[in-house]
C-alpha cells in the first residue's frame, strides 16, 4: 500500500465536527466594486450535497433559487434573486437565541423563498420580517441587495433583527461586510466559522486594495481559496509533484470544505439599469470540482438543463462534480472527510482536477461577460442570445465532464484498527 505523504505543517483538528450547515458570505455595495454594481456572495455548506437551480412563477415576482434534492417541490430556497433585482442569501448563525426555549427553528429557507416571492426592496424585506409571526425560527445572517443600490445584512433571531448597512461608512468602512456562522449581536462565546471569517477578511482586504472586487474575484480568489484564516497555511504553496502518489493534507475550516455544496455570486445593477440585467453566477456540487455558469431571468423561463433536476432529482453538473469530489476524499471511514488528496486537486504537472476545470470556467466567464456587456450597452437583455448561450453551455460542459475525465482509481480506504 502506498503511504500517504503529509506536509510539514499539520493543522490541529478538533475532536468534534462542526455542524455542516455553515456558509461563508459577503455583502458588497456598489461603491467598492469595479463597476459600481452591488454583489452578494455565498459559499454554501450543507448536509445535502445535491443542489440544483430552479425557476419559480409562484409569487408576485418571477425568481430563481438554489434548492436541495431532498426538497423536490422547492419549498425552501437557499439563495437567489427575482425579476425586480431583489436578491437574498444567508449564513447560519449559532450565537443567537441562546435563551430561547420555543423550539421553533430552521425556517430560514422558507423565509428566503417568501422574500423572493414578494420583495422588491430592502424596505419590503424589513416589512416582511416585522410582520412574520414570532418566533420566526431564525438564527441567521440574511444578506440582501436590491436594484436601488441597497446592500445590507440582517442579523436575525427568533424575535427580531438588527440591520448592518454596507452603504454606511461607519458600519462598513470599505463598503463591504462579511459573515460566516456568527452574528456580531450574538454571544461571542458561541461564535462559529471564525477561521473562514478571518480568511475571507484578509482576501477581501487584498481585493479592495487592488480595486478588483467583482464576480470573477469572488469566483476565483474567494470561492477557490486554499488559505486558512487561523494557521495562515496556503495549500497552493504545498503543491505536490503529481496526482499519482497520495498526498493527504488536513482540510478543515477553509472557505472550501468537504461539506461545501455550491456557491453563488449575484451581481445587481447600477442606478438607472433595468433589474433584468441582474445575473447569478452559479457553481453546483463543489467549487473544488465544478464550474460557474451565469444565469438570467428571461420570459421563456429557461435555465441550462445541466443545472436543473433530472428525473432522479439530481442536476447533471452537480452529479459530475460530486463524482469527481469522491476522488479527492477517498477515505470514507473515521475522519476521512477531513483529509484531502491535494495532488488530485492541484499539482506541479498541472493535471489536477481544479487545474483542468478552471480553464473551462474561464471560457464560460469570458463568453458570459462579453454577452452581459452587450446587454448593458443595448440597455436590455436578449432572451434569444441567452437561450443560445445556455444551449452552448449545456453542450460544452457536458462534453468536458463526460469525455475529459476517466474515473480515478480510488485509493483503498484505511482499514479499521485491529489487534496486534
295 Cβ neighbours under 8 A, 6+ residues apart? 53, 64, 279, 280, 281, 282, 303, 304, 307
pLDDT of residue 152: 98
Q: What is the DSSP letter of 181?
A: B
C-alpha span between 172 and 54 (Å, rounded): 33
135 inside domain? yes
The CA R_g of the chain, rounded to the nearest whole Å, is 21
pLDDT of residue 299: 79
3-state secondary structure of 332: coil
Half-sphere exposure of 275 (CA within 13 A, CB side): 19
**How far are the Cα atoms of 146, 252, 382 from residue 15, in angstroms, in the given order?**
42, 12, 53
CA 236, distance to chain mean position in Å, is: 21
Give phi and psi for 260, each to the nearest 5: -70, 125
Q: Would you tell me how many other CB atoms lie within 10 Å of the CB of residue 92? A: 23
SS (H, E, C) 166-179: CCCCCCCCCCEEEE
Of 52, 39, 42, give the one whose Cα is nearest residue 304: 52
Q: Are 292 and 282 in contact (CB under 8 A)?
A: yes
Element (H, E) at 152: strand 151-157
Q: Would you tell me how many other CB atoms lie within 10 Å of the CB of residue 330? A: 20
C-alpha span between 51 and 53 (Å, rounded): 7
**How far are the Cα atoms of 105, 131, 402 from residue 101, in angstroms, in the given order?**
10, 21, 51
∠ CA 401-352-400 to the nearest 5 degrees? 15
How many domains are contained in the chain? Answer: 1
pLDDT of residue 247: 97
CA 257, distance to chain mean position in Å, is: 11
64 inside domain? yes
pLDDT of residue 5: 37
252 inside domain? yes
258 inside domain? yes
Element (H, E) at 57: none
- φ/ψ region of 156 (left if φ > 0, alpha if ψ in -120 to 50, else beta) reads beta
3 inside domain? no
CATH number at residue 357: 3.60.60.10
394 inside domain? yes
408 inside domain? no
**Could you list the residue range(s) of the whole structural domain that residue 302 is in?**
23-403
**DSSP string across 204-250:** HHHHHHTT--SHHHIIIIITT--B-TTT--BGGGG--S-SSS--EEE
Q: Which residues pair with 89 in a beta bridge?
A: 143
pTM: 0.92
Q: What is the pLDDT along the chain (420 residues), one digit of tens a residue?
A: 343 433 333 333 333 334 456 899 999 999 999 999 999 999 999 989 999 999 999 999 999 999 999 999 999 999 999 999 999 999 999 989 878 888 899 999 999 999 999 999 999 999 999 999 999 999 999 999 999 999 999 999 999 999 999 999 999 999 999 999 999 998 888 889 999 999 999 999 999 999 999 999 999 999 999 999 999 999 999 999 999 999 999 999 999 999 999 999 999 999 889 999 999 999 999 999 999 999 999 977 889 999 999 999 999 999 999 999 999 999 999 999 999 999 999 999 999 999 999 999 999 999 999 999 999 999 999 999 999 999 999 999 999 999 988 654 344 444 444 433
419 inside domain? no
pLDDT of residue 406: 62
305 Cβ neighbours under 8 A, 6+ residues apart? 316, 390, 394
Q: What is the DSSP letter of 286?
A: -
C-alpha span between 198 and 179 (Å, rounded): 10
**How far are the Cα atoms of 61, 180, 192, 251, 252 from residue 14, in angstroms, in the given order?**
45, 19, 13, 12, 9
Q: Which residues pair with 266 in a beta bridge?
A: 40, 280
C-alpha span between 177 and 400 (Å, rounded): 36
Instruction: Identify the residue whose cell numbers are 452537480.
Output: 318
Amino acid at each position: 500500500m502506498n503511504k500517504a505523504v503529509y506536509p510539514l505543517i499539520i493543522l490541529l483538528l478538533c475532536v468534534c465536527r462542526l455542524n455542516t450547515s455553515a456558509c461563508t458570505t459577503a455583502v458588497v455595495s456598489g461603491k467598492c466594486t469595479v463597476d459600481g454594481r452591488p454583489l452578494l456572495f455565498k459559499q454554501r455548506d450543507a448536509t445535502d450535497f445535491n443542489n440544483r437551480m430552479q425557476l419559480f412563477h409562484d409569487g408576485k415576482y418571477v425568481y430563481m433559487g438554489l434548492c436541495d434534492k431532498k426538497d423536490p417541490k422547492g419549498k425552501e430556497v437557499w439563495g437567489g434573486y427575482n425579476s425586480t433585482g431583489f436578491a437574498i442569501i444567508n449564513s447560519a448563525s449559532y450565537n443567537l437565541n441562546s435563551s430561547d426555549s420555543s423550539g421553533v427553528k430552521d425556517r430560514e429557507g422558507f423565509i428566503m423563498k417568501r422574500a423572493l416571492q414578494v420583495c422588491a426592496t430592502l424596505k419590503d424585506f424589513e416589512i416582511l420580517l416585522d410582520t412574520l409571526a414570532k418566533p420566526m425560527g431564525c438564527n441567521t445572517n440574511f444578506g440582501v441587495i436590491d436594484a436601488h443600490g441597497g446592500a445590507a445584512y440582517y442579523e436575525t433571531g427568533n424575535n427580531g433583527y438588527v440591520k448592518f448597512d454596507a452603504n454606511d461608512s461607519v458600519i462598513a468602512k470599505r463598503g463591504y461586510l462579511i459573515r460566516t456562522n456568527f452574528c456580531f449581536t450574538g454571544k461571542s462565546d458561541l461564535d462559529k466559522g471564525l477561521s473562514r471569517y478571518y480568511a475571507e477578511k484578509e482576501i477581501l482586504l487584498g481585493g479592495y486594495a487592488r480595486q478588483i472586487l467583482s464576480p470573477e474575484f469572488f469566483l476565483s480568489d474567494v470561492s477557490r481559496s486554499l488559505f486558512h484564516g487561523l494557521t495562515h497555511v496556503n495549500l497552493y504553496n504545498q503543491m505536490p509533484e503529481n496526482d499519482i502518489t497520495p498526498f493527504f493534507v488536513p482540510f478543515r475550516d477553509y472557505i472550501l470544505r468537504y461539506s461545501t455544496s455550491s456557491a453563488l455570486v449575484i451581481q445587481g445593477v447600477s442606478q438607472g439599469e433595468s433589474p433584468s440585467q441582474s445575473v447569478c453566477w452559479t457553481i453546483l456540487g463543489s467549487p473544488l470540482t465544478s464550474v460557474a455558469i451565469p444565469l438570467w431571468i428571461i420570459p421563456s423561463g429557461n435555465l441550462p438543463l445541466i443545472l436543473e433536476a433530472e428525473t432522479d432529482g439530481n442536476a447533471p453538473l452537480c452529479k459530475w462534480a460530486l463524482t469527481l469530489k469522491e476522488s479527492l476524499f477517498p477515505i470514507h471511514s473515521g475522519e476521512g472527510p477531513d483529509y484531502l488528496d491535494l495532488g488530485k486537486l492541484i499539482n506541479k504537472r498541472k493535471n489536477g482536477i481544479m487545474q483542468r476545470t478552471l480553464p473551462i470556467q474561464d471560457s464560460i466567464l469570458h463568453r458570459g461577460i462579453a454577452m452581459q456587456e452587450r446587454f448593458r450597452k443595448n440597455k436590455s437583455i436578449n432572451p434569444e442570445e441567452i437561450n443560445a448561450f445556455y444551449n452552448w453551455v449545456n453542450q460544452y460542459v457536458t462534453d468536458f465532464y463526460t469525455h475529459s475525465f476517466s474515473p480515478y482509481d480510488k485509493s483503498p480506504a484505511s482499514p479499521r484498527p485491529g489487534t496486534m
